[in-house]
């Protein structure tokens, strides 16, 4: 593979998908919505996250090309691919659609990944491995997985032969090719009247070696109505961590409150709300679990409604946002940094109150207090700081 040649993807979304379309009110499978986007766009996003891929050719049904140009432009405006793309019309057969896509590739393209949009679960890692093999001199690379069922060759309802499973593979997409090799195979297929089900078959018939790389069990194709359950049920639970930080000056203002607990004899706090530095850091950490911004965005200090607002209310509201985002909070670790006052007498009560506010067991909450050895802002008794780390589990579906 030329070091200077570009790798483009041809994303096929031109099929009729009759079996599935009939089951879902006539909607073609590539246009079914999943996680807020049509199926084909998920594959496009994965290509955009594959460093070696330069651009994408979208291939749609001929009667929908103008419409889909606008759809793709809108989708790119919402969740940008960050790469060039083109939209073109498909043909009667899959191989015709691929050939139309190849004819749209720029002159700088040397290799191509051909992918079925009905396989929305293919990973960027697998795509990268295909490109790596092409960089090592392979002209055709396809992903494949082991066949786990016994396969029979039949004639009608009569078994003719049991195939040797160890020599069989189930093939997936994307399939990677040297562009000159694939283009020549398509020209030969057109000339000699071949009718194939995938590009690898065409390249094999043209006398070229096709190499196998590891496919993915999860890289399934949405073909039948039953396959829709994979979309509906597909979910992953992954850990997430949020980190929060807040600081307040000492001075005439609000009585000191930490974790919702009043601190008798503590310095007053200059603040717009109640000045609970610990709950502010904690609320920011909760927002960090799901990319929710910061409390300054949700509760601005210019808002009259936030004047002297209880930080417990702030925390409760961000906890609702976290729940809506599919977050289950499992652990909280907080540190208060202050030279004064002495906080050890209040630590357990703070811990218990924070656990209650968050609906957690006390063992899921940790509170620490430390000084900065009389150094800096807190060491000079000018104010107080707090940091918080929150661990959660997020369901992605």
Q: Where are the domains of the chain?
A: 6-233, 236-396
pLDDT at 317: 92
Tell whether the model's pLDDT for residue 378 goes beyond 80: yes
Question: What is residue 397's predicted lDDT score, i.e. its pLDDT?
Answer: 59
The helices-and-strands tally (H runs, E runs) of the chain is: 13, 19
What span, in angstroms and rounded, lies between the C-alpha atoms of 5 and 161? 45
Determine the pLDDT at residue 32: 77
From first CA to last CA, the distance across the chain in angstroms is 37
Class of domain 236-396: alpha beta
Question: What is the pLDDT at residue 23?
Answer: 42
Facing residues of 116 across strands?
12
Residue 4 has pLDDT above 60, yes or no: no
Looking at residue 206, the DSSP 8-state letter turns out to be T
pLDDT for 28: 58
pTM of the model: 0.62
The pLDDT tens digits of the residues spanning 149-177 come to: 999 999 999 999 999 998 999 999 999 99
Q: Is residue 24 pLDDT above 60, yes or no?
A: no
For residue 25, the model assigns a pLDDT of 43
273-315 residue pLDDT tens: 888 999 999 999 999 999 999 988 888 777 767 676 788 899 9
Topology of 6-233 in CATH?
Spore Coat Polysaccharide Biosynthesis Protein SpsA; Chain A (3.90.550)
| pLDDT per residue as tens digits for the range 208-243 | 999 999 999 989 888 765 666 665 555 668 899 999
Integer Cα distance of 343 and 256 in angstroms: 12
- 312-355 pLDDT, tens digit each: 899 999 999 999 888 999 999 999 999 999 999 999 999 999 99
């Amino acid at each position: 593979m030329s070091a200077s040649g570009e790798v483009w993807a041809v994303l096929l979304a031109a099929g009729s998908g009759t079996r599935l379309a009939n089951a879902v009110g006539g909607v073609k499978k590539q246009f079914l919505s999943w996680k807020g986007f049509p199926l084909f766009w998920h594959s496009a996003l994965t290509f955009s996250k594959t460093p070696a891929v330069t651009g994408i050719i979208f291939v749609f049904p001929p009667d929908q090309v103008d419409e889909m140009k606008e759809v793709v432009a809108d989708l790119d405006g919402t969740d940008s691919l960050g790469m060039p793309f083109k939209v073109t019309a498909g043909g009667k057969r899959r191989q015709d659609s691929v050939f139309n896509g190849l004819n749209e590739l720029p002159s700088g393209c040397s290799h191509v990944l051909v992918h079925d949009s009905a396989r929305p679960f293919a990973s960027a890692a697998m795509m990268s491995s295909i490109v790596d093999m092409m960089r090592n001199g392979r002209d055709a690379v396809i992903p494949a997985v082991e066949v786990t069922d016994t396969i029979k060759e039949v004639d009608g309802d009569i078994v003719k032969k049991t195939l040797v499973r160890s020599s069989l593979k189930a093939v997936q997409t994307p399939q990677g090719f040297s562009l000159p090799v694939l283009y020549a195979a398509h020209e030969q297929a057109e000339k000699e009247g071949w009718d194939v089900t995938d590009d690898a078959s065409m390249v094999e018939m043209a006398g070229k070696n096709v190499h196998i790389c590891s496919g993915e069990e999860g890289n399934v194709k949405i073909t039948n109505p039953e396959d829709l359950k994979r979309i509906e049920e597909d979910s992953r639970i992954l850990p997430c961590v949020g980190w929060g930080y807040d600081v307040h000056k000492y001075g005439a203002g609000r009585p000191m409150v930490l974790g919702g607990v009043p601190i008798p004899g503590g310095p007053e706090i200059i603040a717009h709300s109640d000045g609970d530095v610990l709950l502010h850091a904690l609320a920011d950490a909760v927002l960090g679990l799901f990319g929710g911004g910061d409390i300054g965005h949700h509760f601005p200090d210019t808002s009259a409604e936030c004047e002297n607002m209880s930080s417990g209310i702030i925390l409760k509201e961000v906890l609702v946002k976290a729940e809506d985002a599919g977050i289950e909070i499992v652990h909280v670790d907080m540190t208060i940094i202050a030279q004064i006052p002495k906080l050890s007498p209040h630590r357990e009560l703070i811990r218990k109150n924070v656990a209650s506010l968050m609906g957690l067991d006390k063992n899921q909450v940790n509170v620490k207090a430390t000084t900065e050895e009389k150094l800096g802002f807190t060491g000079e008794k000018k104010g107080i700081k707090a940091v918080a780390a929150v661990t959660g589990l997020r369901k992605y579906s």
